[in-house]
Structure 1
């Protein structure tokens, strides 16, 4: 009998050891295609995206946070926090006191804009023994309390976003990090179809061509996963940051020029009002009500005092946002003093508009197959990723209960707890003299 117990303990120990090794081998690839509206694949032939519906999980759509901009939305995904908590409140880094405005691409490397005391998933995972990397992903190039992501590839300003050969090379690069260097988490960012949506508009044939290019890239990804022998170990989440809508212009509409309704030079000390559907102002001392009243008379927009915004915006507690927030009606671009706007499409509008909704796909050994999820907010992706990586999440605003039905039984590939339960059950049946 003692021999039986010894053999049982040895077998259980081996099984637990294998389980722990499996836990350490957790691998997750998060891919973001900037500006991929929730319905962009519905008017294009996309066989690879269609196959993902069969082989994995699809959400009907997901809702980005207010603001529907690249940096705020990506940081919500990677932190699980609302914008008012993580404080990356714009694509541009700005300072309302000095009137500093740093363009989006330059902001990506400015740690003071991103390091707000809210740790992103890369840092949380690294602090629990995992290896992480960021390839072009917003926020990946910053330091957080002096700690950087293990490996970072930054996108150069002016770098073309639509080279399909380079897209495939980027996939091979990040998959080699998994297969050859045992990375656990890699985030990969593509700047399309956002660029073509801005330049041509969401209904232009060129946008459809880019969606087909994305579809071919997904097909290449799946083949490359098999080639790198990652099929049984790598989970993949594919999502985006916001949607896109057609910008309304003359002669169809009268475009918004806010200086027609108030003297910005006299009443405002800081403004960002030439950035899609979202704008901010800092009134001069004692003039907040006058600014609010004047903007309330302007057509095709809604003006808010920051601390009176609806709680559902999750913006009102932000310290960085200026006192006055302006949100244009869908498709109306905000202009301050004159119209210099050339984009055919844009975002930054209220996240309840369907044109601002975006995509979610997932596949891999942890995910169910042929599973259609109801819509959910992007803030809930973070606890799902922590579950897949088997790490303790940092404080966040999401909930695993929203997404856990996507996962196979137990939601993970490890079997440690099951082994111990089986072991205790067997031991209870043995009597050792």
Structure 2
């Protein structure tokens, strides 16, 4: 009798694992267009982005976390944690004790900067049997407690961000990962329109041209999904990390140099001030920025008014557009679009914080999320079936039948 019970128990475990692996789960593609401000498609002809409004879900805008910078914001999206929790507090890796500063592109493969105990979606999904990949996405090139993302393509320093031919090739590659190699989740990153926004400003005609290029790329993506037979099995989320604003310069304004007011040489031993306009204030109740618990941020962080870059001892920053400002500013807001078999159509939702994308992605992949700060309640109205996971019912029901059979036997 005991031997039979053991055999039944073993059979139950095998059956549960088999059912878990055969869940009717759709795949997920997350795409980020760096620096895509929430209103960039409103002064440009964008037929493909417009069609997404009809064929899927659009949020009025998305609020990025403080700090409104590339690495901190992307890691919030992929972990569902505030910056003070995941501790990727800057694009550069730095050490306040040694004055070490590592450039952004070099930092992308520095696990010691990303691996702070918070698990990104790639690792959580892999731990539950899924195949995941990162294509240029910030954080994808690091190891987490020694575990790497299944497949990673890291962007090298000096790599051009605006090559439309390469954009198309990247989509083809990702589509083949889904259709030919059965990947479940891929995060794909594009470095535009951030570069154009920095170099020429958000109101420059070249910014409009790059938005049209993005729109053509979205159109190609839709066709590629169909050609690879993924229309009924691939969900797509399109978003960004921050917006962009015009930087005020002479003669419009008298640019501020802090060293004229504070003797920075004697008063501090470390600074990153020639790098945008981000910082922190002591918040009023309910207005917190989720930065106060950070162990990496120095004790004093400065916020610039919108459009003003922070300069420490002399002016070295020449960008005509920038981000890093308060995430409450509309110029820092960004986009959210979603479509696929699990999303409703022709739905316009209210704005929400990017922190909530993570539990939505876990729901779409039907996996148990790691600890996070988001809430599925914010986004579940977007989903056709928003009543809960389909997988848990099938597995638990099967195990219950086995248990009953064991007891009766």
Is TM-score (shorter-chain normalized) higher than 0.5?
yes
SS in 1 for 2:271: strand
CA distance in 1, matches of 2:284, 2:98: 26
Counterpart Cα distance in 2 of 1:113 and 1:415: 35
Q: 1:256 Cα shift?
A: 1.5
Partner residue of 1:312 out of 275, 288, 298: 288
Determine the C-alpha separation between the residues in 2 that align with 1:395 and 1:105. Answer: 28
What is residue 271 of structure 1 aligned with on the other side? 271
Distance in structure 2 (CA, Å) of the matches to 1:53 and 1:156: 34
1:218 corresponds to? 218
Contact 1:365 / 1:413 at 8 angstroms: preserved in 2?
no
Task: Report the Cα distance in structure 1 between the residues aligned to 2:53 and 2:307, rounded to whole angstroms.
Answer: 31
| CA–CA separation in structure 1 for the residues paired with 2:52 and 2:18 | 30
Asked if structure 2 preserves the Cα contact closer than 8 Å seen for 1:29 and 1:186, the reply is: yes
Alignment match, 2:230 = 230
* Aligned with residue 316 of structure 2, among 335, 340, 345: 340
Following superposition, the deviation at residue 414 of structure 1 comes to 4.8
Unaligned runs of 5+ in 1: 1-15, 280-302, 425-433
| CA deviation after TM superposition for structure 1 residue 417, in Å | 3.7
Rounded to whole Å, the distance in 2 between the matches of 1:240 and 1:412 is 27
SS at match of 1:187: strand
| C-alpha distance in 2 between matches for 1:276 and 1:235 | 34
- Report the structure, 1 or 2, having the larger strand content: 1
Deviations 1:368-396 (Å, cap 9, x if unpaired)? 00001100000000000000000000000
1:40-73: CA deviations, max 9, x gaps? 0000000000000000000000100000000000
Equivalent residue of 1:101, what SS? strand
CA deviation vs aligned residue, 1:129-171 (integer Å, no higher than 9, x gap): 0000000000000000000000000001101000001000000
Residues 170, 312 of structure 1: alpha-carbon distance in 2 compared, 3 angstrom cutoff: same
After TM superposition, give the deviation of residue 336 of structure 1 in Å: 0.6
C-alpha contact (below 8 Å) 1:366/1:412 kept by paired residues: no
Which residue number corresponds to residue 323 of structure 1?
299
**Is 1:36–1:193's contact at 8 Å kept on the other side of the alignment?**
yes
Query: For the residues of structure 1 that align with 2:233 and 2:312, how far apart are their CA atoms?
Result: 51
Do the aligned partners of residues 34 and 339 (structure 1) sit closer, same or farther apart at CA in structure 2, a change above 3 Å counting?
same
**CA–CA distance in 2 between the matches of 1:420 and 1:323?**
50
What is the TM-score normalised by the length of structure 2?
0.90
| Helix, strand or coil at the partner of 1:140 | coil
Structure 2 vs 1, CA of residues 416 and 111 (structure 1 numbering), >3 Å: closer, same or farther?
Answer: closer
Give 2:53's aligned residue: 53
- CA gap of 1:309–1:265, structure 2 versus 1, over 3 A, is farther
Distance 1:104 1:311 in 2: 29
Task: Give the drift of 1:179.
Answer: 0.4
2:368 pairs with 1:392: yes
Alignment of 1:266-305 (within 5 A): 266-278=266-278, 304=281
Q: CA deviation at 1:21?
A: 6.1
Residue aligning to 1:283: none
Question: What is the rounded CA distance, in whole Å, between the counterparts of 1:52 and 1:136 in structure 2?
Answer: 24
Q: Give the conservation status (yes or no) of the 8 Å contact 1:193–1:210.
A: yes
Q: SS at the partner of 2:125?
A: helix
Instruction: Point out the structure with max Rg over C-alpha.
Output: 1
Distance in 1 between residues matched to 2:353 and 2:332, nearest whole Å: 12
C-alpha contact 2:366 2:391 (8 A) present in aligned 1: no
TM-score by length of 1: 0.85
Deviation at residue 311 of structure 1 after TM alignment: 5.5
Question: C-alpha root-mean-square deviation of aligned residues, in Å?
Answer: 2.2
How far is the alpha carbon of 1:342 from its aligned partner?
Answer: 1.2
Cα pair 1:201 1:345 within 8 Å, conserved? yes
Secondary structure of the equivalent of 2:288? helix
Identify if the C-alpha distance between structure 1 residues 21 and 128 changes in structure 2 by more than 3 Å, giving closer, same or farther: closer
User: Do the aligned partners of residues 258 and 181 (structure 1) sit closer, same or farther apart at CA in structure 2, a change above 3 Å counting?
Assistant: same
Contact 2:241 2:334 in 1 (8 A): yes
Choose the corresponding residue for 2:351, options 364, 375, 383.
375
Distance in 2 between the 1:130 and 1:17 partners?
A: 13
Q: Give the direction of change, closer, same or farther, for the CA distance of 1:310–1:332 in structure 2 (3 Å limit).
A: farther
Q: Does 1:131 align with 2:152?
A: no
Aligned mates of 1:100, 1:310 — CA distance in 2: 35
User: How big is the shift at 1:312?
Assistant: 1.7
Question: CA 1:366 to 1:413, structure 2 compared with 1: closer, same or farther past 3 Å?
Answer: farther
